[in-house]
Amino acid sequence: MAPVLSRSLTPASVASLPYSPLFSSRNNTHNRLSLRSAFFHQNELKNSSFSCSGLKWKVDKRGSSVVVKCEASAVAEKEAPEASGEKHEYQAEVSRLMNLIVHSLYSHKEIFLRELVSNASDALDKLRFLSVTDPSLLGDAGELEIRIKPDPEKGTITISDTGIGMTKEELIDCLGTIAQSGTSKFLNALKENKDLGNDNSLIGQFGVGFYSAFLVAEKVIVSTKSPRSDKQYIWEAAAESSSYVIREETDPEKQIRRGTEITLFLKDDDKYEFTEPSRVQGLVKNYSQFVSFPIFTWQEKSRTVEVEEEEPKEGEETPSEGEKKKKTKTEKYWDWELANETKPIWMRNPKEIEKDQYSEFYKKTFNEFLDPLAHTHFTTEGEVEFRSVIYIPGMAPMNNEDVVNPKTKNIRLYVKRVFISDDFDGELFPRYLSFVKGVVDSNDLPLNVSREILQESRIVRIMRKRLVRKTFDMIQELADSENKEDYRKFWENFGKFVKLGCIEDTGNHKRITPLLRFFSSKSEEELISLDQYIDNMDEKQNAIYYIATDSLQSARSAPFLEKLVQKDIEVLYLVEPIDEVAIQNLQTYKEKKFVDVSKEDLELGDTDEVKERESKQEYILLCDWMKQQLGDKVAKVQISSRLSSSPCVLVSGKFGWSANMERLMRAQTLGDTSTLEFMRGRRIMEVNPDHPIIKDLNAACKNAPESTEAKRAVELLYETALISSGFTPDSPAELGGKIYEMMAVALGGRWGRVEESEEAGETSESAPESESESTETEVVEPSEVRTEADPWST
């Protein structure tokens, strides 16, 4: 019998067995290997275990068979040393890493100028801070400033500062090590040295801002001089290279007293854009306008100078020196121009700022020509600290697409006075407040490395919550002010935004609802608030009644209001498409429910139950008969408690769409007709038992239930109720035909019209007298045949 190898043997263990032709496979179900006796030494078979290939094997004799097993513990002991491998550092290909930094972190090429100006500002901040304890660092190298000079001829742009500069070691450490932030190191050193304090106004933290220069440059040269060193060094690198060169500056003409000068040799595609002086100045004003150091840009200017006229031509008299005429001409020249003269208004004390200054800042920042309706300037402290100034514009945007666009560029985000972005997708303000304009400046926003994308986080949510709350406080203050005209302008321009908030922001319903304004049955000329409505209502009234229509005219003439107006109950008019959905999302206000007067089960609170019971009993047969005639057009016919002058009205089901909502959904471009049929709900026909038409139909159903005229009257009554209730008839042409037919019956011969055949008989003089006598008949005018109940009779 062949020895059996244990199934616990790992592949590695099997591989460690020496190969020998002594092995021969047998076809059996136990996967056994037959070994010849020459494989093992006789002494080894006598022992209970032996070693082979570094593994421990156990020999077990079973009769004439030998079983060989590999012990698992031995396998584990052998594999244990292999688990602890060598430790290696990640290897990065520098050129590819640089390519990722340049082309993946930044979404716009123009960002390079913001990053380099921010680095220059940090260098100036460091020098100013260190000079407090070591004034010798300032020396006589001039003021702390930044200068930017484009050169269209050479295709370069140079950014220079008079900041702290860098030594050779700092060049290698900061510019030679990717993502090594000198600013971050400086801040850490300040935190460790408590005696020096902590200045967290520095901007750069990630150490990759400098490399944004390669977005537009094919080569970058950095010339820097530190006040701590006597030598000036040059750092030079190309965009596609993985190495850089550092050398000492030996040219006396290129020596600088202190600071850093960065020269970008622009790519061919970017030369014309970023060497244009006006373009450079525009970028500075957009991104770095509020940097605390002056930024000068090299600009072309013009001036008017006086020059003497040219010498006179031949034949002309030469004027004397005193009589020589002078003329003016305009000449152009180049000079430095301050680009960031505006101070950040949000960093100042609100008590020291006049209203005109806020308006001027608003107009200049957002290119507006109208003064804002309101503004608020605030600072929040605690776990999230930021400063902000927000405005309500003087008018709504002209383009309807901008009304609820979450990506409007109305909020400008700054981090330490450096502009970051104005392209947000609802992170800082909800969509319905997208009309609000303002600036937000924070020192600890969770930005990404490129500082262009605001990451969703708890801090952002807290900021959003506080900004929204301050906005509502500002609007409420405007509503409560004595000048009602300002809030009227606000509501005229931005009322739709506020109503949209009722739909999208359930958490702020308590702040939104007091701001709403509507017309009503008691105030058709002036908008009223819900608080005014509640103050005017009767103590017994426990609901806020409203009706949704397409205009004030249709609202005031709607049959649903007849009994409510008769009882002096005020009804809100919802005449804008968004009104009904907004009110339905509110549901209640100050424990008063909103009730649609065009829906079933309207309770007015003072119904005469005895009279109502008698009316139902008297007209129960009429209701069943009318339901039978109308079929599936209505869910049921019942006696109405809301009508006083109209014969009937069609009301919507309690949970279905109203007539106004049905009209709006039909008008949707992408409306689903199947949804329309489902949500339309049931229609209930309510009849007025006190109206003469209903009384006549009640008599008809009792005395002549099969009368064709009565059935036609019921159909016409239903279709007329459709229109008066705000619904759209299924076949307007068919309805028009029925109305024409009824008019023909009512008007026939009323004003003594004579038939054409009769006129022809009277004017026929040639006809024989006998013939005329035989054909003469008695003519009865239709006007003489009238019933007492004819509404057209006088």
Instruction: Summarize the annotated binding site for ATP as residue ranges.
Output: 115, 119, 161, 166, 181-182, 205-210, 260, 451
109-112 long-range contacts, Cβ below 8 Å, gap at least 24? 109/215, 109/216, 109/270, 110/274, 110/283, 111/212, 111/215, 111/450, 111/452, 112/212, 112/213, 112/215, 112/216, 112/217, 112/264
Residue 75 to residue 83: CA distance in whole angstroms: 13
* Beta strands in 294-450, from DSSP E residues, in sequence order: 295-308, 326-338, 374-380, 386-392, 411-415, 418-421, 437-442
3-state secondary structure of 67: strand
Residue written as token pair 């009730």 = 595
Altogether, the residues listed in the chain come to a count of 794
* CB of 560 closer than 8 Å to CB of 597: yes
* CB of 276 closer than 8 Å to CB of 299: no
Provide Rg for the chain, Cα atoms.
46
Residue 38 to residue 110: CA distance in whole angstroms: 83
Strand order in the sheet with 55-62: 49-52, 55-62, 65-70
Element (H or E) spanning 527, and its range? strand 523-529
* Beta strands in 670-766, from DSSP E residues, in sequence order: 683-687
Query: Token digits for 348?
Result: 């100042």
390 forms beta bridges with 376, 438
Residue type, 648: C
Kindly state the DSSP code that residue 364 receives in the 8-state scheme.
H
* CB of 464 closer than 8 Å to CB of 429: yes
Residue 224 to residue 213: CA distance in whole angstroms: 16
DSSP H helices, 139-276, are 168-174, 182-192, 271-274
* CB of 437 closer than 8 Å to CB of 394: no
List binding-site positions.
Answer: 115, 119, 161, 166, 181-182, 205-210, 260, 451
| Backbone φ/ψ region at 784: left (φ over 0), alpha (ψ -120 to 50), beta | alpha
